[in-house]
Structure 1
Amino acid sequence: MCENGTAPRILTADTMNPSIRRVEYAVRGPIVTRAVELEKELQQGVKKPFTEVIKANIGDAHAMGQKPITFLRQVTAVCLYPELLNDNKIPEDVKRKAARILQACGGHSIGSYSASQGVEVVRQDVAKYIERRDGGIPSDPENIYLSTGASDSIVTMLKLLVSGNGATRTGVLIPIPQYPLYSAAIAELDAVQVNYYLDEENCWALDIKELRRALEEARKHCDPKVLCIINPGNPTGQVQSRKCIEDVIRFAAEENLFLMADEVYQDNVYAKGCAFHSFKKVLFEMGPKYSDVVELASFHSTSKGFMGECGFRGGYMEVINMDPAVKNQLTKLVSVRLCPPVPGQAVLDVVVSPPQPGDPSYKQFAAEKQAVLGNLAEKARLTEEILNRAPGIRCNPVQGAMYSFPRIEIPDKAIKLAEAEGQAPDMFFCMKLLEETGICVVPGSGFGQREGTHHFRMTILPPADKLKALLERLKDFHQKFTREYS
């Protein structure tokens, strides 16, 4: 007992898990906390130089005004409220899809638990989707694990892969810039983050020579076992060429690395000459020398693409060439969490098994999907064009995904002021941008970047008119900021 008669706290910042203290997640970091405070101040009538806070920090399509896909929401609605099966305003293909999902659920209700790996018919539909996507290459439902978004299965796979102490600790190669889920999970699991830098001068391409440099350097102090790829890229928006994917697969085979392919933006490809190639498809087309030995986990999600259904938390992982004994452990690990949200599984089923030509809902579904992807392609073009008109800002083409990652020049005076305040220079810039314009973007330092460079990540999701106004304000602010601190 303390002198005042109270017991000391058991859990303090000093006694808590030190790995958790090392976790950082820039996408929802301090700048977003301040954005929420500014929103509340505006609601309370506090005068600001802007009338609204625009949260361009996160890829949340519906929060940015994107309308849900009708078929997807109709099926989900019927699953949630089966009385709608008797409603003659609901299309017949919607009822068939919902009835099939409900039939596979315990008690015919999506309020019941599912199998830990996910509802069996949904896993079957995911496997068929992968087969169609990859031109007939077989997919086994037993290799499919449904998950709470892609993030959950990425962390689960890292949990399986991480082991060792000291020089034997697992090293995980991640692209820089990266999506902060990876650095956060690596810190939490007390693994070693191994950075390989994407080539900004070559539209953020992946360079095998840089991969080799990172691997050889890491082997001096840890045991690199995992190579993470994000394609299309987040935050960088690049789409990898087929040749690049083949080179990565050869590299993984030669160096005995487990491949993790984050492919959640596979529907989001906009640039001419670019196409999405799944790692699994390329792996199998390279023949048994690679397809029989390279261990691969690939990930997809309902949160991105044309769907944008972030809140349902639906996703899947497919594992290839996994040791059967390890697969048993993976199944055990996911069973500890009971199951992914069943409504999210229902949404995933609609995504991987959409209406077909001739179905009552097909025409509307196809039109809505095309409208979303067409709008995103136009906004990707607009973002690059407007930002590149600004002196001191350079934006690579947004080939895919939902973000741009422009490079910005920051005057020396601002860099010194930022350092004096204990801030990264691009955090200093982004915070000033937020306070003066209401635009919330994420500093590049939260994703990683080459020493001496400064960036920010912003989503291209706002409606075109709002995005255009946002980009113009951002451009004007950068010019004002440069003058002020020169």
Structure 2
Amino acid sequence: MNAGLRAVSRSPEPGGATRTIRTQRRFTAAAQRLIPVHCDTGRKPEHTMSQPAVNGVSCPGKVLTLDNMNPNVKRVEYAVRGPIVQRALQIERELKEGAKKPFTEVIKANIGDAHAMGQKPITFFRQVLALCSCPELLEDDKFPEDAKKRARRILAACGGHSIGAYSASQGIECIRQDVARYIERRDGGISSNPDNIYLSTGASDAIVTILKLLVCGEGHNRTGVMISIPQYPLYSAALAELSAVQISYYLDEDNCWGLDVKELKRALNAAKEHCKPRVLCIINPGNPTGQVQSRQCIEDVIRFAKEEHLFLMADEVYQDNVYADGCKFHSFKKVLFEMGPEYSSTVEMASFHSTSKCYMGECGFRGGYMEVINMDPEVKAQLTKLVSVRLCPPVPGQALLDLVVNPPQPDEPSYSSFMKERTEVLATLAEKARLTEEIFNTVPGITCNPVQGAMYTFPRITLPQKAIIKAKDEGYVPDMFYCIRLLEEEGICLVPGSGFGQREGTFHFRMTILPPTDKLKIVLQKIREFHLRFTQEFS
């Protein structure tokens, strides 16, 4: 085991405050030992603005140090790419250099990166993107005519007919129009205004942008933002960076990670003592927990948001990833408008979608959008100004998003192959979701809820008391200790549940279901064998 590695994890407390369970004590110490020496003295520089001369040569200290940098940045944590992932990368380098391990490769099941896990790109999408990137290919007979038509339309909307040009800050107009039409089709004809559509660098960038608009105040008047526990670390990281107050509400693990409005009320009332709650964030289908909310649940959440005068943020990037029988994706916008003008004309909301998930898995292109509803026109002008500072989202990502919201139609030559590829990807994910739940629930000490949607499972693990004591003695959170041991012994990289938040005294890990089916079976079997061995060692 890498003795230098220690984890930071935050555990939610009532009202949304967070506390550090363990720090990266030895990891930080090791990192400090790697600070470059200055002025050839062979000594580590002190954290001061200036230092005395050495041999007559002035040796000023660093302008920017840990002591004087932005303290909010130091509070940011992001477990999905945290210390355990850094160790996984180090192990990969060691394997390449010939180190002997009990395994031949590291399987990184820590992140929802479909293509990195072997999923093939959708052919039509890549054909159009290739044509947009290299317009000379428009003369090539190998490309279908509908792909060429899409490419010509996108290029015509770009400055200089090139996807290398900047676009409008809000996004290319014809693509925003296509997004609005997509939303209308998805939601059964409910109107969508392209002026309310903002294209973005994935959904993450849009989420952080909205939070920037919402966070204000000082002390007891500081903005409080309600996020689910377990949560996707983007939210806690963004709130830390913005110095907002995290209000943690717990999902019900015993009820398939369901959302109960009573828990929302409990969290809200507790938070009112030390902040001003203004925002409610919902992830549906859920990450890391994989649940799909019922229509009734969504209605209850919307009523709660209206009653408590909260801005609603609906993270819906997994909307095509629904697998379980009886489950169906309902967009928050659709339910909002079907509840009538009392809600549809008053509840302020932003919803988010991305090209990175669903059947596409095109994480690297960083395409996404948000739709804002009932936003004050003057605030909307400020939003437009804010996105203008970043010039524009990546234009290739915008082009890809256009294909997602406007895929081949039944009368076009690429339709049958597109539908075949799309159906196969989603069917395979559904099978892997079933397989994951089934195998984990055969392991004594592992309990796994059905993976109803999204791309992850968040099983609960029972750890022997001796293992918990051993972990704490070594400066680890217990489920981090478990995941580190799994990485070192089996080459499987997971994220401990403590990185997402969990109820006190419970332990979990998040694992993506994205590896190819054959490899997923190997991963599940290795975790099974490791868990039994680990439990026996500390029993």
Q: Does the pair score TM above 0.5?
A: yes
The alpha-carbon deviation at position 8 of structure 1 amounts to 2.3
| Aligned residue pairs, count | 486
Mapped to 2, the partners of 1:233 and 1:464 lie a distance apart of 22
* Local SS of the residue matching 2:52: coil
Stretches (4+) displaced over 2 A: none
Confirm or deny that 1:191 pairs with 2:244.
yes
Mapped to 1, the partners of 2:323 and 2:363 lie a distance apart of 21
Confirm or deny that 1:2 pairs with 2:51.
yes
Give the match for residue 231 of structure 2.
178
Give the match for residue 270 of structure 1.
323
Confirm or deny that 1:77 pairs with 2:130.
yes
1:159 pairs with 186, 208, 212, which one?
212
Question: Which residue identity lines up with residue 167 of structure 2 in the other structure?
Answer: S
Give the match for residue 286 of structure 2.
233
The alpha-carbon deviation at position 256 of structure 1 amounts to 0.1
Give the match for residue 470 of structure 1.
523
Question: Which residue identity lines up with residue 57 of structure 1 in the other structure?
Answer: N
Give the match for residue 11 of structure 2.
none
Mapped to 2, the partners of 1:420 and 1:107 lie a distance apart of 62
Give the match for residue 320 of structure 1.
373
Question: Which residue identity lines up with residue 280 of structure 2 in the other structure?
Answer: L
Mapped to 2, the partners of 1:327 and 1:185 lie a distance apart of 21
Q: How does 1:335-350 map to 2 (within 5 A)?
A: 335-350=388-403
The alpha-carbon deviation at position 416 of structure 1 amounts to 1.1
Q: Deviations over 1:119-171 (max 9, x none)?
A: 00110000000000000000000000000000000000000000011000000
Give the match for residue 450 of structure 2.
397
Q: Deviations over 1:189-226 (max 9, x none)?
A: 00000000000000000010000000000000000100
Mapped to 2, the partners of 1:205 and 1:2 lie a distance apart of 57
The alpha-carbon deviation at position 9 of structure 1 amounts to 1.5
* Local SS of the residue matching 1:2: strand
Q: Deviations over 1:333-370 (max 9, x none)?
A: 00000000000000000000000102100000000000
Confirm or deny that 1:102 pairs with 2:102.
no
| TM-score normalised by L of structure 1 | 1.00
Q: How does 1:385-464 map to 2 (within 5 A)?
A: 385-464=438-517
* Local SS of the residue matching 1:3: strand
Confirm or deny that 1:92 pairs with 2:141.
no
Mapped to 2, the partners of 1:324 and 1:304 lie a distance apart of 31
The alpha-carbon deviation at position 414 of structure 1 amounts to 1.1
Confirm or deny that 1:359 pairs with 2:408.
no
* Local SS of the residue matching 2:91: helix
Mapped to 2, the partners of 1:191 and 1:258 lie a distance apart of 15
Give the match for residue 37 of structure 2.
none
Question: Which residue identity lines up with residue 164 of structure 2 in the other structure?
Answer: G
Identity of aligned residues (%): 74
Give the match for residue 195 of structure 2.
142
Mapped to 1, the partners of 2:62 and 2:433 lie a distance apart of 51
Mapped to 2, the partners of 1:461 and 1:335 lie a distance apart of 35
2:176 pairs with 113, 118, 123, which one?
123
Question: Which residue identity lines up with residue 2 of structure 1 in the other structure?
Answer: Q
Gaps of 5+ in 2: 1-49
1:290 pairs with 335, 343, 356, which one?
343
The alpha-carbon deviation at position 2 of structure 1 amounts to 2.2
Give the match for residue 19 of structure 2.
none
Q: Deviations over 1:40-74 (max 9, x none)?
A: 11111100000110000000000000000000000
Mapped to 2, the partners of 1:406 and 1:269 lie a distance apart of 18
Question: Which residue identity lines up with residue 52 of structure 2 in the other structure?
Answer: E
Mapped to 2, the partners of 1:341 and 1:475 lie a distance apart of 42
Confirm or deny that 1:251 pairs with 2:304.
yes
The alpha-carbon deviation at position 111 of structure 1 amounts to 0.2
More divergent stretch after superposition (5-14 vs 176-185):
5-14
Q: How does 1:204-223 map to 2 (within 5 A)?
A: 204-223=257-276
Question: Which residue identity lines up with residue 84 of structure 2 in the other structure?
Answer: I
The alpha-carbon deviation at position 479 of structure 1 amounts to 0.6
2:166 pairs with 108, 113, 132, which one?
113
1:31 pairs with 63, 66, 84, which one?
84
CA RMSD of aligned residues (A): 0.5
Mapped to 2, the partners of 1:64 and 1:374 lie a distance apart of 16
1:64 pairs with 114, 117, 122, which one?
117
Mapped to 2, the partners of 1:221 and 1:372 lie a distance apart of 46
Mapped to 1, the partners of 2:51 and 2:267 lie a distance apart of 51
Question: Which residue identity lines up with residue 420 of structure 1 in the other structure?
Answer: D
The alpha-carbon deviation at position 417 of structure 1 amounts to 1.4
* Local SS of the residue matching 2:199: strand
Mapped to 2, the partners of 1:52 and 1:2 lie a distance apart of 46
Mapped to 2, the partners of 1:474 and 1:121 lie a distance apart of 48
Gaps of 5+ in 1: none
Mapped to 2, the partners of 1:216 and 1:78 lie a distance apart of 55
Greater CA radius of gyration, 1 or 2?
2
Q: Deviations over 1:217-244 (max 9, x none)?
A: 0000000100000000000000000000
Confirm or deny that 1:168 pairs with 2:227.
no
Mapped to 1, the partners of 2:104 and 2:52 lie a distance apart of 52
Mapped to 1, the partners of 2:175 and 2:473 lie a distance apart of 54
Question: Which residue identity lines up with residue 304 of structure 1 in the other structure?
Answer: K
Mapped to 2, the partners of 1:57 and 1:452 lie a distance apart of 22
Mapped to 2, the partners of 1:108 and 1:139 lie a distance apart of 28
* Local SS of the residue matching 2:321: coil
Q: Deviations over 1:97-122 (max 9, x none)?
A: 01000000000100000000000011
Q: Deviations over 1:275-306 (max 9, x none)?
A: 00000000000000000000000000000000
2:333 pairs with 280, 293, 311, which one?
280
